[in-house]
Structure 1
């Protein structure tokens, strides 16, 4: 459906140049979005896929061990969309050693995304509502280090920004003037929580689709808007109870369909084609949720097979089992970390990881005799699928 009015333009001056900045109309769209026909069917499929994902997460022997790596996978993918070139192993090595890694700024950026995401999840668990304040808190952690640290972390922008082009005059899109950002975000927060009456008239997957576009259109920060806008989706789904664990991230889908993603955002802004965007978004939810279910099932099978290989080890079996459980929690690790997390002594942990290497479950990756590092290659391979740099 095409809509005549999706917002208005404000003529402002930036660097001595007249600029047409777009101010989006408050959500929900008018006339309202209607779920019917193929769109309704797609919504039902996406919701069922989320239910299957929420169910399979309860089958994991320890959801935290999956979340540890899965959250980092999302941080990597979301940051790659912004142009970083790190790998999952780069990030895990950086967190393990604080080592420079290559490229250093990219790894710091991905690590900061992890910090921001985990802060948002912790605050939610504490009962703090999804709000502009929480988004600013997360943003402060996203930009705490490395590139962007001088781009007002945790604060709405106080100057005009733009997307594409070398200056506002040749930009592909100019968000609202800085003086209107606060009001736009207040309206978005009100929509997220059901409007003035606090009652939702649209299902949460559709609300998340609308809110993501609105956030990206407002572009309230000088930097980090893309990453935070993608994180907003999963926070909304968790707050609404659609997901019990933060396991649904659309960054891989957006990365794989990057051109279409930006084309549809422009379609909403230019002619109000929310339905085309929602169709794409729901397709992404269904595809991503189904992919996450398949990943979780593959990991469960990997753990089952490798666990079976540890049977019959005799007296050393108990310590090797402890070491293996720790390796599942930290698939790239050192003997020191194994010792700390498993409670084993250094000699016992060292001997146990050597047993896992001998069985082909772990691999020593430094080739040295000191400060050795070990990788659970099969686990990392599954989690790294689709994370190759753009």
Structure 2
């Protein structure tokens, strides 16, 4: 790991440094700054976390959409296999578990990584792959067996030596910018591949946790998996080129470009959504006496994007007829759309909000 750090190290002020990490820090700073001035930061964090969870899971082949996830969280049946949505839901729980532990003073460590993995695979397809336990058998990447695999990670008897070096690297006080360390740590984790399942999702989750642990981000607002999904072939190819040829420079340029692109996009999304909420709030004021209850439902939809009458009544402590009437008014002015076409068990979406959030999250088709 010391060689890893040495071979990829450079001065953050060096004009020839790959992709100018200082500029990437500015992009993250803009994103963090936008988050800090939002009138309701938890609202955006709630959705950004779900977007990252969804995108990271889609890289592994799940077919869940953002609407499916929000339906699942509203206790409604999604339109895809339940396992797909459970994987995304587990990712959210795993990230929140890691952040809660770190906020309580627990370091980003092998112990915490095992805990997070246990949450990530607590249900669904990965539940039989030893959640929370480092592997005791050989795994491989690509192919049907180690003999024809694209890459074979370290054998079990060398696993802890590699993981100990990885943990030391996370906490080494060196001259590397933290954003560069996050990029290097991701490759190293994916190369060690310490679990039987879930390594890709956990490795991407660790990027966010590392940036939050080192105060680069105050909140998990960077959905970098959007960039990885968009450039999925290049992403996997560059990971392999580091392993086989030591091509750190190409990986770092790719990673840092992704940080800039995604951070700028996330900041723009936040600003666009603020304008949408404000414009719709003004339209609601024109409803007259119905504005009060419609405004409350509008506030709930900003937090959820998809609701049912029953859930809205429960969360807002209003009667179901009042919620039904408020939703009717919001439909009449084009803010809300009923998405089932049914007379019972109806589901309502804040469509413009959902569409803006869902950009880039369409499932990857085989």
Tell me which residue corresponds to 1:47: 25
Partner of 1:123: 101
C-alpha separation in 1, matches of 2:247 and 2:155: 24
Task: Give the alignment partner of residue 75 of structure 2, picking from 93, 97, 104.
Answer: 97
- State yes or no: 1:247 paired with 2:221: yes
Please state whether the residue corresponding to 2:307 is helix, strand or coil. Answer: strand
**Unpaired stretches in structure 2, ≥5 consecutive residues:** none
Q: Alpha carbon RMSD of aligned pairs, Å?
A: 1.5
8 A Cα contact 2:69 2:78, kept in partner: no
Distance 1:29 1:47 in 2: 19
Quick check: 1:39–1:279 contact (8 Å CA) kept in 2? no
Change over 3 Å in CA distance of 1:185–1:307 after alignment to 2: same
**Are positions 1:346 and 2:320 aligned together?**
yes
CA 1:274–1:152 in 2, change beyond 3 Å: closer, same or farther? same
Q: Per residue, is there more helix in 1 or in 2? A: 2
Q: CA deviation at 1:364?
A: 1.0
1:380 counterpart = 2:358: no
Quote the Cα distance in structure 2 between the aligned partners of 1:288 and 1:148: 29
Q: How many residues align?
A: 362
Q: How does 1:4-83 map to 2 (within 5 A)?
A: 25-26=1-2, 28-31=4-7, 33-35=9-11, 36-39=14-17, 42-83=20-61
1:112 aligns with 2:90: yes
Q: Residue deviations 1:252-283, cap 9 Å, x none? A: 11111122212221221223221221111111
Q: Which residue matches 1:10?
A: none
Aligned residue runs from structure 1 range 114-193, under 5 A? 114-193=92-171
Q: Deviations over 1:342-362 (max 9, x none)?
A: 222222222111111111111
Contact 1:26 1:188 in 2 (8 A): no
Q: Deviations over 1:54-84 (max 9, x none)?
A: 0111232211111222211111110011011
C-alpha distance in structure 1 between counterparts of 2:76 and 2:126, whole Å: 20
The Cα of 1:289 is off from its aligned counterpart by 0.5
Q: Residue 172 of structure 1: SS of its match in structure 2?
A: coil
Q: Is the 8 A contact 1:112 1:142 kept in 2?
A: yes
Contact 1:33 1:274 in 2 (8 A): no
Identify the residue that residue 15 of structure 1 maps to in structure 2. Answer: none
**TM-score, scaled relative to structure 1:** 0.89
Q: Is the 8 A contact 2:141 2:149 kept in 1?
A: yes
Structure 1 residue 153: Cα displacement = 0.4
